[in-house]
C-alpha cells in the first residue's frame, strides 16, 4: 500500500498543510489533527484538496460549505464508464447545486 500525503484544512486561520500518513489503511486515517499554526482543529480534506489563498474569503466559504455537507474533495466518478471525475464547483452558488446533485457521494448523504 502506498503512503499518502493528506491535506488538512483549518477554517479558523484558513491554512492548509499536508501530513504523511504512512501505509495505514484509509479507514484508519485521522479525520482531524491540531493545526500547527493556531492550535485549532484542522480537518482531513483528502489527497486532492487544493486550498484557496488565505485571504480569499469567498473560496474559503465555499470550501467550508462543501465540507459541512460531507464533501472532502474526494474524487467523484458517476457510474462505471466514467473515468473522469466530476469537477468541484468554482463558486458558492454552484456548490449549493452541487451538494444536491451529488448528495449520494457525500459522507453525510442522509443529512442533506
User: What is the value of pTM for the model shown?
Assistant: 0.85
Domain match, 75 and 104 both: yes
* Dist CA 7 CA 51 (whole Å): 9
Domain match, 31 and 80 both: no
* Dist CA 50 CA 55 (whole Å): 15
Domain match, 25 and 61 both: no
Domain match, 37 and 77 both: no
- pLDDT for position 107: 86
pLDDT in tens, 7-55: 999 999 999 999 987 766 666 788 999 999 999 999 999 888 999 999 9
Domain match, 37 and 68 both: no
Q: What is the 3-state secondary structure (H, E, C) of 23-84?
A: CCCHHHCCCEEECCCCCCEEEEEECCCCCCCCCCHHHHHHHHHHHHCCCCCCCCCCCCCCCC
Domain match, 43 and 97 both: no
Domain match, 75 and 96 both: yes
Indicate whether 110 pLDDT > 90. Answer: no
pLDDT in tens, 47-87: 889 999 999 999 999 999 999 999 999 888 887 766 678 89
Domain match, 79 and 104 both: yes
The helix/strand/coil state of 108 is coil
Residues 6 or more apart whose CB falls under 8 angstroms from that of 111 comprise: 70
Q: Which range of residues forms the domain containing residue 19?
A: 1-51
Domain match, 3 and 47 both: yes
Three cell numbers, residue 94:
454552484
Domain match, 3 and 46 both: yes
Nearest one of 28, 96, 34, 85 to 61, comparing CA atoms: 96
Nearest one of 2, 89, 13 to 47, comparing CA atoms: 2
**Where residue 43 sits, what CATH number does that domain have?**
2.20.28
The band of 4, judged by pLDDT with boundaries at 50, 70 and 90, is: confident
| Domain final residue pick, 51, 72, 89 | 51
* Dist CA 3 CA 22 (whole Å): 4
Domain match, 109 and 62 both: yes
Amino acid at each position: 500500500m502506498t503512503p499518502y500525503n493528506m491535506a488538512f484544512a483549518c477554517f479558523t486561520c484558513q491554512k492548509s498543510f499536508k501530513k504523511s500518513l504512512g501505509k495505514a489503511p484509509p479507514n484508519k486515517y485521522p479525520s482531524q489533527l491540531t493545526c500547527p499554526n493556531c492550535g485549532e482543529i484542522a480537518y482531513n480534506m483528502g489527497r486532492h484538496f487544493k486550498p484557496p489563498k488565505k485571504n480569499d474569503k469567498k473560496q474559503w466559504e465555499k470550501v467550508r460549505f462543501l465540507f459541512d455537507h460531507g464533501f472532502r474533495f474526494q474524487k467523484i466518478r458517476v457510474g462505471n464508464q466514467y473515468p473522469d471525475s466530476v469537477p468541484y464547483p468554482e463558486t458558492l452558488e454552484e456548490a449549493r447545486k452541487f451538494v444536491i446533485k451529488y448528495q449520494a457521494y457525500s459522507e453525510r448523504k442522509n443529512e442533506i
